[in-house]
DNA sequence: ACCTGAACACCGTTCAAGT
DNA sequence: ACCTGAACACCGTTCAAGT
């Protein structure tokens, strides 16, 4: 990449990070180009779709979450490890408002720039689930795709302001449904 | 209302029904006015917000769902009644793609035209839940707002094409978490 | 090789002017 | 009392023209 192109690319990523954080992942691409003081075509040249921009922006975070799952595979308590990872991925999507919808919409679209990252995350979750199942701590009749569905549902709910006060409770209820520990979540 | 106004009002509702069914509840209001062969201002006069249009369109359905809950209160099995009603409300939101997001976003906004309908539905669900709880068939540590969250999460998931094949399974898992029957959902 | 921004086809919302 | 549609302020996406 030419030096000037590289500079634009990096600057666009930084501005996009700011704007997405402020306004969510459905922020205006025009606004990003404007704030980066770059032609709109330059943004489209480097990132042909919103998904491509999100992927470039969040790649390292996705990788970190996948690595975190690997680390947690070594934890003593496989159920606690799964719960911890669920907490972390929900916290991540909560931080990046609006990111769960594109993640779900591209999970079966092999052409999307965001596809690989989502599949990796699903696989990372599936691996943690598998170990918990092997330990008899997670319900056996659940697979990675279903776990990803539950994560997506929780993540979407988390984005709704009216839900905020119940977020922990609902997380407990749904993640509790994944485990074999009966219905023991914190009572009020 | 003047006769010509009434005619426009009714015609707009019919066209909106068609367009929302075709494209979801976030369809273009401009397109609706265009297809109704009515000035854009006429649509805004009758329905000042998208929520007002949705409310006028779905009021009878919301009422039917609330009445259905009343009927089901008389059923023998309170747990089955709750499950049946959950199925029906999810089927309704699935039929009306895109409607769950505004429903959740206005549930705490007393000014919204859609507010009353959503609160009624939440109350209807809460009543069914209460009876199941009194019978010891639903987990005691759950309230209407939390049930509404779970419904919303399921409804949103249902809108995602990639989720379609697992819809029944996830419904079983989440609704199972509401009941006190352990984790007995259909195995594969 | 890369950048620019006008052009095109859309939105939602408001409101002066018309009947 | 009601209707109309231009006007305004936005979008996403493409692409001819420039450096």
Choice between A14 and A1, residue whose per-residue pLDDT is larger: A14
* pLDDT at residue A99, as a whole number: 98
Would an 8 Å CB–CB cutoff place B16 in contact with chain A?
A: no
- Give the percent of chain A with pLDDT over 70: 96
Q: How far is the CA of B41 from the C1' of C14 (A)?
A: 9
The domain segmentation of chain A, as residue ranges, is: 1-48, 50-179
* CA B83-B88-B94 angle, 5° bins: 125
Among B157, B137, B158, CA closest to A183: B137
The DSSP code for A164 is G
Q: Which two tokens stand for residue A25?
A: 């992942």
Q: For all residues of chain A together, what is the average pLDDT?
A: 95
Q: Is the CB of A4 under 7 A from strand D?
A: no
Q: How far is the CA of B31 from the C1' of D3 (A)?
A: 18
Mean predicted confidence (pLDDT) in A155-172: 98
All residues of chain B having their beta carbon less than 8 Å from the beta carbon of residue A105 are 160-162
Q: Which two tokens stand for residue A184?
A: 């023991």
Mind giving me the DSSP string for A75-141? Answer: SS-HHHHHHHHHHHHHHHHHHSTT-HHHHHHHTT-TTSTTHHHHHHHHHHHHHHHHHHHHTT-B-SS
Q: Is the CB of B3 under 7 A from strand D?
A: no
* pLDDT at residue A180, as a whole number: 84
User: In this structure, how many other beta carbons lie within 10 angstroms of the beta carbon of residue A161?
Assistant: 11
CB-based contact A104 B139, cutoff 8 Å:
no
Whether A132 has a pLDDT exceeding 90, the answer reads yes
* pLDDT at residue A182, as a whole number: 54
- Write out residues in chain B with pLDDT < 70, as ranges: 182-188
Give the CATH architecture of domain A1-48.
Answer: Orthogonal Bundle (1.10)
User: In this structure, how many other beta carbons lie within 10 angstroms of the beta carbon of residue B39?
Assistant: 12
Residues 101-140 of A with CB under 8 A from B: 104-105, 107-108, 139
* pLDDT at residue A56, as a whole number: 98
Work out the minimum CA distance from A3 to partner chain B, whole angstroms.
Answer: 40
* pLDDT at residue B182, as a whole number: 54
* CA A154-A25-A11 angle, 5° bins: 140
Homologous superfamily of A50-179 in CATH?
Answer: Tetracycline Repressor, domain 2 (1.10.357.10)
Whether A185 has a pLDDT exceeding 50, the answer reads no
* pLDDT at residue B185, as a whole number: 45
Q: Which two tokens stand for residue A85?
A: 């990872």
Q: Render pLDDT for A42-81 as a digit per residue (tens, 0 to 9).
A: 999 999 999 999 999 999 999 999 999 999 999 999 999 9
* pLDDT at residue B93, as a whole number: 98
Q: How far is the CA of A13 from the C1' of D13 (A)?
A: 20
């Amino acid at each position: 990449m030419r030096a000037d192109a590289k500079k634009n690319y990096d600057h666009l990523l930084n501005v996009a990070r700011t704007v997405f954080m402020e306004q969510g992942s459905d922020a205006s691409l025009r606004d990003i180009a404007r704030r980066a003081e770059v032609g709109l075509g330059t943004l489209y040249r480097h990132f042909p779709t919103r998904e491509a921009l999100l992927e470039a922006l969040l790649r390292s975070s996705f990788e970190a979450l996948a690595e975190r799952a690997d680390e947690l595979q070594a934890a003593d308590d496989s159920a606690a490890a799964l719960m911890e990872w669920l907490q972390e991925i929900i916290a991540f999507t909560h931080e990046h408002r609006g990111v769960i919808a594109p993640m779900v919409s591209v999970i079966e679209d092999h052409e999307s720039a965001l596809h690989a990252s989502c599949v990796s995350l699903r696989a990372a979750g599936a691996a943690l689930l598998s170990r918990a199942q092997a330990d008899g701590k997670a319900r056996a009749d659940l697979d990675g795709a279903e776990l990803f569905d539950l994560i997506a549902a929780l993540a979407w709910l988390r984005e709704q302001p009216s839900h905020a006060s119940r977020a922990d409770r609902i997380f407990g209820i749904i993640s509790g449904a994944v485990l074999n520990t009966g219905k023991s979540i914190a009572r009020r």
